[in-house]
Amino acid sequence: MRSLGVTCWLLLICALFPSRKLTAQDIHVLVLDALNGKPQANVKVESLCAGPPRNFSGKAAFTNDKGVATISYACNDKQVIEIEVFPPNKKEQCGGDAGMTLNDVVSKGFLSKPDSADGIWCPTKVSKKLEPVPGQVILFVKKPTWWQSHVAG
């Protein structure tokens, strides 16, 4: 009977004070045009926690007029965050977002490299002027050139 009481207390404590690793954390995703740095409104933002114990896909969010979407993440410390953006116009995401963890984003922030692999050869003029912001992911989009959309890609 005593062990049942201890178990009940442990369950109550876990319910009242959940572990940070298991609770959702808000992340702000800022989407900017790689050519002019203007915020991109109405961009669909999808997120994924990749890695063990299982992949977890979050709900989609849309950017506001300031180019910011807020997504809630429930990733553990070892999972990698993958974020994809889908603008309503013919722009595409620049570069990849490999190597982000929830802890990195919350503590330091993440600034995408628009000219990295998996991109569409985006310029870095705008991104060089920015610094990462804790709790925020900054991603870039650009309309592909004729060559990129017809020949290279």
So what's the pLDDT on residue 58?
A: 75
Q: Is the pLDDT of residue 130 over 70?
A: yes
Closest CA to 69 of 111, 113, 24, 31: 31
Note the pLDDT tens digit of each residue in 67-119. 999 998 777 777 888 899 999 988 988 876 656 888 888 899 999 888 876 65
| 118 or 143, which is more confident | 143
Over its C-alpha atoms, the chain yields an Rg (Å, rounded) of 19
Closest CA to 140 of 97, 88, 80: 97
| 63 or 26, which is more confident | 63
Mean pLDDT calculated for residue range 134-149: 83
Strand pairing report for 56-57 and 110-111 = unpaired
| 47 or 18, which is more confident | 47
CA–CA gap between residue 39 and residue 6 (Å, rounded): 53
pLDDT band, residue 17 (cuts 50/70/90): very low
Q: Evaluate whether 101 touches 94 at the Cβ level (below 8 Å).
A: no
So what's the pLDDT on residue 111?
A: 92
So what's the pLDDT on residue 153?
A: 52
Note the pLDDT tens digit of each residue in 28-38. 999 999 999 99
CA torsion sign for 48, 145, 42, 125 is positive
What are the chain's domains?
24-152 (2.60.40.1120)
CA–CA gap between residue 105 and residue 96 (Å, rounded): 15
Backbone angles phi, psi at 103, to 5 degrees: -60, -40
So what's the pLDDT on residue 72?
A: 84
Backbone angles phi, psi at 88, to 5 degrees: -75, -20
